[in-house]
Amino acid sequence: MNNINISTTIEGTESTLQKQAKKLAKLRNKETFRRPTHLFMHEKCLTKIPKPKNSNHLIYAYYHNNHITKIENLDLLYNVTHLHLQWNKITKIEGLENLYNLKKLYLGNNCISVVENLEGLKYLEELHIEKQNMDNADGLCFDPRTMVSIGASLRIINVSENKITDMAWARPLRRLEVLIAKKNNLEDYQAAADNLCMIVGLVDVNFIGNPMTRKHRYKETMIARCAQLRVLDTVMIHHTSKTFLQSFDKVVRLRQLHERNKLDMNQRGADEFLELNMLPGPRAHSALSISEYSNQKPKMTAVDSSYTFMPRAFWRSRPAPSPREPVGVAPPMEAPPPPKQPIADPSGPPIKGILKKPMPIKYLS
């Protein structure tokens, strides 16, 4: 009898546990249904963003493909991480100050002219703001304060088809990894390489459709200057070619630097050399170049050697010449003293070459 009672109690406890588990599952389903994480408001011909209901647990908000002209009524979506506002008629970025947890922002195909008012988005990782239908001929502008604030977290940015002419705005984006800037008005690939070479984490760049991609040595310059790149215009970069181009670019730049600092072999080059290395003061115009008077290749240069070398550090201790001194005229020199003649002793023997007695006049006539 005891065994039967124990088995019945075990079966009763199992049945009660199953019932309780079913009740808990139903409650969880009801709670999840009451707490939605996705807000679907796309393709509803909205002209204004309505105030959301039960917004405490929303993570994804979809407002794309509508006729919205202003970003508003989003203050309660402080837990949203993905916000879709593409394909609308938005003209200004605003009303996003309270979206502290926002990570991905989609604003493509709108009428935005300035990227601004994103200073409060400290966790923003992706910004898609391509194809802005602006009425004026100016390209998309970037607020420096906004770029500095989002530069600490932004990893992906898409600015395609926005009439952009330079890449100086991308310098503060120190953690950027993927840059998509297709079909813009970028023409100077050297300036673009200079602006992107400081972004250490940049591994993927897409400039397809820009005028600079059709210029000579575009790819070589971008690969050589941006050492961290792995993909350029959707094409993988081989490690061997990257190493070779970087070494070649280093040699070319050193040669250009040497040629830029090299002095010309003419009057101007000599004057520059004397200004850099000689003492200040009156200058004798004798530093001439043979190449100025002939069309042949110069073989030698005549430079006045009357100057004295002295380091620049000792220039202050030397008094400067008076302004009354004529420039280009050498100081006057005293006449040399006459040579000393030997004095003859009358008591001693005569000196060779000098007669003791004067010669007769008959021999002189």
Using an 8 Å Cβ cutoff, are 266 and 291 in contact?
A: yes
The rounded distance, in Å, linking the Cα atoms of 135 and 123 is 32
| Under 8 Å between Cβ of 79 and 58 | yes
- Terminus-to-terminus CA distance in the chain, angstroms? 181
As a whole number of angstroms, the distance between CA 250 and CA 217 comes to 15
**CA 158 – CA 170 distance, rounded (Å):** 12
> Which run of H or E residues covers position 36?
none
Give the pLDDT of the chain (365 residues) as one tens digit per residue: 555 555 556 666 777 877 788 777 776 665 555 678 899 999 999 999 999 888 888 999 999 999 999 999 999 898 999 999 999 999 999 999 999 999 999 999 999 999 999 999 999 999 999 999 877 778 899 999 999 999 999 999 999 999 999 999 999 999 999 999 999 999 999 999 999 988 999 999 999 999 999 998 899 889 888 888 999 999 998 888 888 887 777 777 777 666 666 655 666 666 665 555 554 444 444 444 444 444 444 444 444 444 444 555 555 555 555 555 554 555 555 666 666 655 555 565 655 555 555 555 555 44
User: For the whole prediction, is pTM greater than 0.75?
Assistant: no
pLDDT at 286: 42
Instruction: List helix spans (H) across the chain.
Output: 2-34, 144-150, 189-196, 218-225, 239-261, 267-277, 361-364
DSSP readout, 291-336?
GGG-SSPP--EE------B--GGGTTTSPPPPTTSPTT-PPP-PPP
